[in-house]
Structure 1
Amino acid sequence: FGMFIPYQSVLIPLVQLLTSINLYGGIPGLILVHIVYGIPICTLIFRNYYAGVPKELLEAGRIDGASVLGIYRHILLPLSVPGFVVVLIWQFTSIWNEFLFAVTISGNNQPITVALVNLAGSIAPQPNVQMAGALLAAVPTLLVYILLGRYFVRGLLAGSLKG
């Protein structure tokens, strides 16, 4: 439900809430906002992923005497690596590219996306500085995709195919 609510519609109440709990103007408040807004999509990804796990595996764990926690720890968790990678890449990319919360909530500790917009909107733009900033902003995302990309497609498809 939360992922269908536009960021702009909750911005003022969010700032008021973060101010009341003394998290406005810093990175902890920004982290909290991203966690709250990330829960719905992560839940959907894992729900689809776990729906594709054969029931026979869970039944075998129950027959062997494993508790619900034991089934999760010994059967589901090892199978969930592609799902975790998909969530990690998805969340990292959306948080890294996010601008509205970063400029509104973080105060003086603004992430690189805000700095890039400030570079682009300067009075005397310097293309070499802008391109260097864009390259620095793209490197972490590129590294995440290079290191974890082989799991990404596998994890996305694992929750989408049935049978």
Structure 2
Amino acid sequence: KELGSYIRLYEDVRHNGATHTPLHPWLGINIKVSYQCDRKKDILHSIGIHLISGTMMANFHETLTNIKLTPKIPDFCFTLSPIIKPQSGLQRIEDALKNIIAEDDHTWAKEARVRWNHDLDLLNRFYEESDELPESYEIEKQALQEQYEPRITVQIINGGLFYVTANHFLSK
């Protein structure tokens, strides 16, 4: 797991000054999950968590693109204090992502192992006439393992704290 850059933005709320508007804290994270073997597939996830209720939302970035955001808190607005700390929110997102990955179809890994065994069989046949296996055999065998060994990597691309009015997320 790698960490990326982060930002803090506020919804740009226009006011007549009669009332003060509360802004709710959300932690939004954009994550790349890579399924790697001799082939590679990347899947992007954008997950947000409301730092008061714990509500999680998929496709968080897509929803944010419809909200005008600013780096400074607007006049007549105030931020609600989070009940869930950002680090704890990040852990909850990570746990949810682990569940998503666990429920994914993992036939790609089984297929990679089949291809690996096939190539390993070819390598063994190539060296079957040798009385003693040369060093190159072990090097090639290790290279095959590195090429075909299925692995999943998770990289946080970026994220941030977003303070927005309740009507964007909590009413859905």
Provide TM-score, normalisation by structure 1.
0.26
Provide TM-score, normalisation by structure 2.
0.25
Larger Rg: 2
Structure holding more helix per residue: 1
